[in-house]
């Protein structure tokens, strides 16, 4: 951390800042006097100094961070990307994971049909929302507990582990009793109470990027989960809000190599929610393989025109099967097991 003092900061003001740094017992400040500025370099544990309101102290012009604010999810200290076990499978850098299923659990018949389509296509996990975060309160809100029962049945029938969203801290126990992996949706990435509760539930967590979150904010959300004791975290890039209206969200494909540099956590892409329409799902999925993502999560529905949520972005079973074949071929080409 660097503390840049005002040009005319007094010796007393500089001494006061140094005293505050030393009072943490964890860091030291070193003063460099230039012609225009006096800079205090902080070494030691800058995390504790970052908690002090240094920028509010007299004589301070600004504070510049040098180290990253996240520790547990940082790449530092890890040779490679972590592999996260999820029930009978795992998500990590050796393999390429396909998660497929309906956006929402709408009925037993619809979910089982989509689950079998996912299984037939060679998917590793089944997705499906029982609790749905909808923009409109008049849209289908999910079957909730009945949806969990259907997901449990779909797992029994197909053997696929289940990933499903939990939206509210009060539901974590119920959802965790059924889910093999808990999904935090884009709208809840910054719900820190929920992040703590899902961490404590102990199940692997799929953390979607907030649609207006920077990569650092996304990693700080992961840090909240990690700090509460659960490091079984997989990140999911699902597109961000930009000025572009041709797609539902703008898939930030660059976030994948950035995450690789910054974090040891695996990261997957959700091309369906990024694009919002099915014609883009295949190209974005192949881009996910090429750029080194650890998997994709794809919406599938047997009758998209009747879907209660996100029909326009859902592939039909045959399309999913063809795409999975193309993904397998490309994954093989880039040296990933499928």
Q: Point out which residues bind Mn ion (CB under 5 A).
A: 103, 310
Q: How many residues bind ligand PEP (CB under 6 A)?
A: 11
The radius of gyration of the chain from alpha carbons, rounded to an integer in Å, stands at 23
Which of ligand PEP, Mn ion, none does 208 bind, CB closer than 5 to 8 A by kind?
ligand PEP
Shortest distance, position 52 Cβ to ligand PEP, whole Å: 36
Contacting residue, 273, 278, 301, 336, with ligand PEP by CB under 6 A: 273
Number of other residues whose CB lies within 10 A of the CB of residue 140? 14
Q: Which is nearer to Mn ion, 106 or 310 (CB)?
A: 310
Q: Where are the strands (E) in the chain, listed by range?
A: 2-5, 27-33, 38-44, 60-64, 84-86, 89-91, 97-101, 125-127, 162-165, 181-184, 205-208, 233-237, 267-269, 295-299
Shortest distance, position 297 Cβ to ligand PEP, whole Å: 7
Closest listed residue to residue 224, CA positions, set 203, 260, 198, 201: 198
d(CA 234, CA 82): 9
The residues in 92-111 that bind ligand PEP, with binding defined as CB under 6 A, are: 103
Q: Which is nearer to ligand PEP, 74 or 267 (CB)?
A: 267
d(CA 250, CA 243): 9
The structure tokens listed for 241 are: 């809000």
- List, in order, residues 6 or more apart from 59 with CB less than 8 Å away: 5, 6, 9, 10, 13, 14, 16, 17
Contacting residue, 124, 208, 248, 260, with ligand PEP by CB under 6 A: 208
Q: Which is nearer to ligand PEP, 208 or 232 (CB)?
A: 208
Which of ligand PEP, Mn ion, none does 223 bind, CB closer than 5 to 8 A by kind?
none
Shortest distance, position 37 Cβ to ligand PEP, whole Å: 44
* 238 is a site residue for ligand PEP (CB under 6 A): yes
Residue nearest to Mn ion (CB): 103
d(CA 294, CA 277): 22
Which of ligand PEP, Mn ion, none does 185 bind, CB closer than 5 to 8 A by kind?
ligand PEP
Q: Which is nearer to ligand PEP, 186 or 285 (CB)?
A: 186
Tokens 């009978």 sit at which residue? 88
Dihedral sign of CA atoms 112, 118, 124, 125 in order:
negative
The residues in 117-146 that bind ligand PEP, with binding defined as CB under 6 A, are: 129, 133
DSSP 95: B
The residues in 158-197 that bind ligand PEP, with binding defined as CB under 6 A, are: 165, 185-187
* CA–CA distances in Å: residue 148 to residues 109, 234, 292, 310: 14, 22, 32, 19
Shortest distance, position 217 Cβ to Mn ion, whole Å: 22
Site residues, ligand PEP (CB under 6 A) = 103, 129, 133, 165, 185-187, 208, 238, 270, 273
């Amino acid at each position: 951390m660097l503390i840049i003092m005002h040009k005319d900061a007094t010796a007393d003001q500089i001494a006061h800042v140094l005293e505050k740094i030393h009072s943490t017992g964890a860091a030291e400040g070193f003063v460099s006097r230039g012609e225009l500025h006096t800079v205090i370099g902080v070494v030691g544990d800058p995390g504790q100094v970052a908690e002090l309101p240094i920028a509010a102290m007299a004589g301070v012009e600004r504070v510049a961070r040098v180290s990253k604010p996240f520790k547990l999810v940082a790449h530092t200290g890890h040779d490679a990307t972590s592999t996260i076990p999820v029930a009978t499978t795992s998500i990590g850098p050796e393999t390429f994971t396909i998660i497929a299923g309906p956006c929402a659990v709408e009925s037993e018949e619809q979910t089982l049909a989509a689950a079998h389509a996912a299984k037939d296509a060679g998917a590793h996990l089944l997705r499906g929302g029982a609790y749905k975060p909808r923009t409109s309160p008049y849209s289908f809100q999910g079957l909730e507990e009945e949806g969990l029962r259907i997901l449990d049945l779909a797992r029994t029938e197909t053997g696929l582990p289940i990933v499903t969203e939990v939206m509210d801290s009060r539901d974590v126990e119920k959802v965790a009793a059924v889910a093999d992996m808990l999904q935090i949706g884009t709208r809840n990435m910054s719900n820190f109470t929920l992040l703590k509760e899902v961490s404590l539930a102990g199940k692997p967590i799929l953390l979607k990027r907030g649609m207006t979150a920077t990569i650092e904010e996304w990693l700080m959300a992961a840090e909240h989960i990690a700090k509460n004791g659960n490091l079984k975290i997989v990140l999911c890039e699902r597109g961000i809000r930009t000025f572009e209206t041709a797609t539902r969200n703008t898939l930030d494909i660059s976030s994948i190599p950035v995450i690789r540099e910054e974090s040891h956590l695996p990261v997957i892409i959700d091309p369906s929610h990024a694009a919002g329409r099915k014609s883009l799902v295949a190209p974005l999925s192949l881009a996910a393989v090429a750029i080194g993502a650890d998997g994709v999560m794809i919406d599938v529905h047997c009758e998209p025109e009747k879907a209660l949520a996100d029909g326009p972005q859902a592939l039909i079973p045959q399309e999913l099967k063809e795409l999975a074949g193309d993904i397998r071929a490309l994954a093989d080409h880039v040296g990933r097991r499928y």
